Amino acid sequence: MKILAFAGSLRKNSYNLQALELAKSLAPENIEIEIFPLNDMPFMNEDLEDNGFPEIVKQLRGKVEQADAVLISTPEYNNSYSSITKNAIEWLSRSPSVARGKKLGIMGASDGDFGAVRALLLLRALASVVGFDLDDNHVVAIPNADVVFEHDQKERLIKHINSLLDSLSSD
């Protein structure tokens, strides 16, 4: 199984990138996770489509098309997902959509007590609108990420990420 993953944060060592790297390290042999960097992704702009999609957008869309599932990890900014997350999804949903029917797993890491849960709720709604296939077993909230990733307190997080990967690969 191939999973294309991206973090909704551009910070070099963001908690959400760390969550994806942890998922990649936990993936069993039958699951390959590729993390796609969004640093050079232009904002969605129909003018940029005049001669086809920009090259990095073509790369992202192609990798999603070839993947069996997508895994997104997003921070929570102002009670919502990041603009980086939204921008990537907008590009994926452009006609012809590569999001429609694609299995989706979502994670949200924050240093607060709720683990980006508000962002994840809104991301679930967006995923539904653009046609991603997302169910309750495909969601992991990561509270207190500043402690979880800096200290040896990953056991519970590892359990949840393993469960998400199991669910994505068995659906």
Please report which helix (H) or strand (E) contains residue 4, including its range: strand 2-7
Answer whether 110's CB lies under 8 Å from 51's CB.
no
50 phi/psi in degrees, rounded to 5: -55, -40
List domains and CATH numbers for the chain: 2-170 (3.40.50.360)
What is the rounded average pLDDT for all residues in the chain? 95
Please report which helix (H) or strand (E) contains residue 166, including its range: helix 155-170
Q: What is the pLDDT of residues 64-123, one digit of tens each?
A: 999 999 999 999 999 999 999 999 999 999 999 999 999 999 999 999 999 899 999 999
Other beta carbons within 10 angstroms of residue 136's beta carbon come to 7
How much is the average pLDDT of 125-150?
Answer: 92
Confidence band of 151 (pLDDT split at 50, 70, 90): low
Residue among 169, 158, 166 nearest 23 (CA): 158
Q: What is the pLDDT of residues 106-133, one digit of tens each?
A: 999 999 999 899 999 999 999 999 999 9
How much is the average pLDDT of 133-159?
Answer: 88
How much is the average pLDDT of 28-45?
Answer: 97
